[in-house]
Structure 1
Amino acid sequence: MEVSPREKAERVRRMFAEIAPRYDLLNRLLSFGADLRWRRRAVALALEKNPGRILDLATGTGDLALMLKRKAPTAQVVGADFALPMLEIARRKARAQGLAVEFLEADALSLPFPQGSFEAITIAFGFRNFADYRKALFELRRVLAPGGRLVILEFPPPPRGVFGLVYRIYFQRLLPFLGGVVSGSFGAYRYLPESVEAFPPPEALKGMMEEAGFKVRYELLTFGVAAIHIGDLEAWSTR
C-alpha cells in the first residue's frame, strides 16, 4: 500500500523522536566510525567557497552543524530539523561545546527562510527521508544564494559486486537487529535499509539536482557505501 508524503513525513518524525537518545552511539557503531570521515569530507566541500551563512538541514543531533562551526567559527551556522527530541540533544551539545549554533524546527519542503538566505546548505543522511525529493531540491535552491553550494551526503543503494553483496547482507539483516537491540526500536532500523534501497542511485540524484538548476558532481565513498553530491548555483542564477 502506497504511503502519502504526509504519512511518510509523520512516520519519519515519530521514528527519529524514538531513537534520538541512542542516535549518535548507533551512528558510530553501525558504520564502524566511517560516518565521521564521511562527514568531515562533506564539511570540507561545503566550506570550499568560505560561506558566511550555512544551513545544515535534517541536522538531527547537530553533529555536522557543530563540525561546520568548529571549522568556520566566524560563519553563521543554523541547524534545522523537524524532530524536536533530536534538536534538544543538538542544543545541549552546542552548549557543552561552547559553540554558537542556532537549532530550530523546520520542514524541508517549506523552509522558514527568505530567498537567498544561505551561501551553503548541507544535508547528511537526511535527504532520503524527505517526502518529495524534487520539491525539496527546488526549495533548497530558493533559500540558497546565487553562487552558493548544496552538499548532500547520503547512502545510495548498495553497490554491485562481491563487496556490495556482503554489505547488503550486513545492511539488511545484521544492522536492523543490532540497531533495534541498542535503540529499542526495531522498526526504525528496518526502515533504514528499506529507505536506502528505494533511494535514487547517484546518477539519478545528480539528474534531479540538475533539473532544479544546480551544476552537479558527486563522489563515491568507501566503495560506494556512501555518496556526496555537490551542487553549485551559478552566481547569476535567477529564480
Structure 2
Amino acid sequence: MKVLVAVKRVVDYNVKVRPKADGSDVDTANVKMSINPFCEIAVEEAVRLKEKGVVSEIVAVSMGPKQCQEQIRTALALGADRGILVETDEELQPLAVAKCLKAIVEKEEPQMVIMGKQSIDGDNNQTGQMLGALTGMAQGTFASEVVVEDGSVKVTREIDGGLQTVELKLPAVVTTDLRLNEPRYASLPNIMKAKKKPLDTTSPADLGVDITPRTKTLKVEPPAERQAGVKVADVAELVEKLKNEAKVI
C-alpha cells in the first residue's frame, strides 16, 4: 500500500511573525522555516502505519520554491521513502495546491493521501477537502485516530459535539488533527540516510496545472495591541464600568 504525504514549508511556529514594511506580505527574510506542524503529524502517522506493516511506501510531496527540498528531506529523515517537489516561485493558494496534488495522485496512484488539516500560515483548512472533491476520493478530516483494515480506513474525527467515526473505502484522503499522534525527532543516522533518498522535481506546467491565484491579498498588518486593564475597588464600581463604559450589561 502506497501513501502520499503532503508537507508544507512555513515559518517556524516559535518565530514571531512580522509583516513587511509595505504591508504586502509576511517578512520571511532570515527567518527559520520548518515543516507545518500538522504536516509533521501526517508524516508520523504514515511512518507508524509503515511500521505496522500496513504501508509499503511513503511518498512525501511539497510545493513551492527550491528551498522546500529542506522540508522534504526532513520528511525523508522521519521515515518517508522518496520525495517529489513541485517547484515554483509563484504564490500557491489552496485550490492550486489541490490541483497539483490531484495530478500527482493520478500519476502515483496512492491508496491513501495523508495531510495536515491546515497550515499555520494561511489557516485555510481547504486543501484536503478540495483534493477529495477533485479526485472523487472519500475523505476523513480532523482525524484523531486512523485504523486501516480490509481495504478501508476508519477515521475518528474531532467535531464540535465530540468524536465521530467514519469508515471510508480506499483510496481516501485523511487530514490530521493535533491529537492524532506525537511526531518523533529525526535521528542523525536517518538525517544522513535521507540525503541519499530519491527526490524528483517537477513543475505545475509539467503537471498541466493552472496555478493562477483566485484571491488577492490587500494588506498584511499585525493585530491591534491590547489595551491595559484597570483595577476596580469593589463590585459596585465593576458593575458601573461594565454598564456605562464597556456597555455589556
Using the size of structure 2 for normalisation, the TM-score is 0.34
Task: Determine which structure has greater relative contact order: mean sequence separation of CA pairs < 8 Å that are 6+ residues apart, divided by chain length.
Answer: 2
| Greater strand proportion | 2
Q: Which has the larger radius of gyration?
A: 2
Which one has the bigger helix percentage? 1
